[in-house]
Structure 1
Amino acid sequence: MAARSQTMVVPTDAQLLKAQADLWRHSLYYLTSMALKYAVELGIPTAIHNLGGIFESGNSNLTVETYCLNPLSWLLVEGVEAEGHTNQKYFVLSTVSRHYVDASLTLADWFKKDLSPPLSSPFEELHGVPLLHEKMAELDEELDTIVREGVAAHDNLAMGTIIWECGEIFKGLQSLTDCSGTDGTTEKAIMKAYPHIKCNVLEQPQVVHTAPTDGLALDIFKFVPPAQAVLLKV
């Protein structure tokens, strides 16, 4: 039986108009990331928090604009934890850093290259060092610190809530290994909720040496200490 031919459907004028709006929106999305970056660098969420959570802009002759802290803003207020949710300042600053953005601008060239496995990431291909590698400090010491703080903020976000809401996964456990446990915040939260669970934090040597908690300086791709459960955060 001959294959049925499919007729190409031409979009309507209304669909093309909406597509044009979507195109502009996607093309200018980077401005949202940059605005978030500068809001964090200028400490705007913290400033609004210090004013009681509300900031009014304007004068008696003009309409007064009111800015309030929303849930996203709460995660960016320094010195305050919102119900156990850790501050996400460094996560924002790491993801919009110059080195990250520069690497993203090379994606087209990276896809065109005939690279042999194992493939290096666009970041490594451009800067000569992988993310979170011990040599990253040689590339940019400040970025290395920001990225590690950002990873810790990401890993520890809402951990208390997760442990409370998903407590059934910890039932019956006597031991647990937290892989890439950064500063041990997750371990402390688990042990506070379940004191009987023996926890180990597994991290890279350069992280363990600076973390405020005891950890095991091991490569998770080579060895993971025996435990009833392994915790991986992605």
Structure 2
Amino acid sequence: MDLLSGRKSNEIFEGQVHVYKHMYAYLDSMCLKWCIELEIPTIIYNHEKPITLHELISILQVPPSKISGVERLMRHLSHNRFFDIVTIHDDDGGDENKEKKEAYALTIASELLVKGTEYCLTPMAKCGLNPLMSSSFNLLGKWTLEKNLTLSEISLGTNLWDFLSKNPSILTSFNESMASDSQMVKLALKDHSAVFEGLESIVDVGGGNGTISKIISDMFPKLKCIVFDLPHVVENFSGTTSNNLSFVGGDMFNYICICKLQGKLLFLFQLNSNLWILHDWDEEHCVKILKKCKDAISNNTKGGKAIVIDLVINEKQDEFGLTQMKLRMDIAMTTLNGKERSEEEFKKLFLEAGF
């Protein structure tokens, strides 16, 4: 039986395009990796105006045999909205002889890849594009048939956290990537600062290098902040302790630190150098973490609350591209035993934990 016998030719070709688009989707990532490795967004930024192909290859010192390749890579990245192709006028000669040329200008996406800027996501992109991390997804088939192993345990031979603790250079890259991602939360805090009003203390659960806590402590100098994470995570940051920011080591599955803090408590689960917290874990572990916070709040005479900053899958309301990104993040969580959740799934966690 010919499965496609009832299909029109254009429908079959559309299906082929869809298959090929996803089959070659890894080339999008590799072109982005190329762009970041050569620091092209930073080069254009420092050029202070759109840059021509001739100017770009001159700065990169590209050999003549590869000029065509660079042009094709830039065309691909421009098509994917990392650069805008604009028309400029050559300043050489008089007004009548000015020559029109094509040049590459930054977009909002490539502006986020300029090194040294406040919201630079280059460390995040470098870590995500590290072959050690990305190649593990070649083993999804094997992962499917393994009863209890995570994808990282299959590909790395151990869980992700143990692997990072034993590979300092990769851990440093990982921490830098999560810290760069955390800077984006600053944008949200500007619009939702009211959530911190009336609070006197924060325990940043799984706070890693304290990027978000530092932002909050700068915004609210009277708010006492403790970054609570595994001892080997926080040990390198003890020197950054200030009057309203300190680091404490411990295990969030055993207890949540409330030492040194008084007043109404806030337990913050946020973007940090150990990834987002709750999406790292399955339902059982998430409930355990939340119960520890609930216990700590119950034992605090002035009470408190817990805030979770995380992705929420909402396919019915989000536009296609945003949902696609969230679903990809959900697949990324197969490296652990975590997942991205809908609002209803979060609600279920909170209720089971006693909130």
Q: TM-score if structure 2 supplies the norm length? A: 0.55
Gap change, CA 1:169 and 1:50, over 3 Å in 2: same
> Distance between the aligned counterparts of 2:198 and 2:7, measured in 1?
57
Residue 78, structure 1, aligned to residue 115, structure 2: yes
- 1:5 is aligned to none
- 2:139 is aligned to 106
Counterpart mapping for 1:165-204 below 5 A: 165-204=191-230
Q: Is the 8 A contact 1:58 1:65 kept in 2?
A: no
Which of 111, 117, 121 does residue 88 from structure 1 map onto? 121
* SS in structure 2 at match of 1:38: helix
AA in 2 matched with 1:224: I
Question: Could you list the per-position Cα deviations for residues 73-96 of structure 1 after superposition, in whole angstroms to 9, with x for gaps in the alignment?
Answer: 122111222xxx2x2122111111
Question: Could you list the per-position Cα deviations for residues 178-232 of structure 1 after superposition, in whole angstroms to 9, with x for gaps in the alignment?
Answer: 1222222211211222223221111222221223523111122222123622111
Which of 159, 163, 187 does residue 130 from structure 1 map onto? 159
- 1:64 is aligned to 101
Alpha-carbon deviation of 1:11? 5.0
Alpha-carbon deviation of 1:30? 0.6
> Distance between the aligned counterparts of 1:63 and 1:19, measured in 2?
40
Q: Is the 8 A contact 1:178 1:199 kept in 2?
A: yes
Query: Any stretches of 5+ residues in structure 1 without a counterpart?
Result: 1-9
- 1:229 is aligned to 266
* SS in structure 2 at match of 1:209: helix
> Distance between the aligned counterparts of 1:191 and 1:170, measured in 2?
11
Q: Is the 8 A contact 2:183 2:211 kept in 1?
A: no
Gap change, CA 1:53 and 1:228, over 3 Å in 2: farther
AA in 1 matched with 2:265: Q
Alpha-carbon deviation of 1:172? 2.1
Q: CA RMSD in A?
A: 2.5
> Distance between the aligned counterparts of 2:195 and 2:129, measured in 1?
34
> Distance between the aligned counterparts of 1:58 and 1:65, measured in 2?
10
- 1:55 is aligned to 51
Q: TM-score if structure 1 supplies the norm length? A: 0.81
AA in 2 matched with 1:180: G
Q: What is the identity percentage for the equivalent residue pairs of Structure 1 and Structure 2?
A: 25
Which of 30, 33, 39 does residue 37 from structure 1 map onto? 33
- 1:148 is aligned to 175
* SS in structure 1 at match of 2:161: coil
Question: Could you list the per-position Cα deviations for residues 133-169 of structure 1 after superposition, in whole angstroms to 9, with x for gaps in the alignment?
Answer: 3x4354x443222112112222x23232211111232
Gap change, CA 1:74 and 1:53, over 3 Å in 2: farther
Greater percentage in helix: 2
Q: Is the 8 A contact 1:58 1:64 kept in 2?
A: no
> Distance between the aligned counterparts of 1:17 and 1:77, measured in 2?
39
AA in 2 matched with 1:42: L
> Distance between the aligned counterparts of 1:176 and 1:145, measured in 2?
25
Q: Is the 8 A contact 2:143 2:149 kept in 1?
A: no
Alpha-carbon deviation of 1:12? 4.5
Count of residues in correspondence between the two structures: 214
Gap change, CA 1:104 and 1:63, over 3 Å in 2: farther
Query: Any stretches of 5+ residues in structure 2 without a counterpart?
Result: 1-5, 56-89, 91-98, 242-246, 259-263, 271-275, 277-355
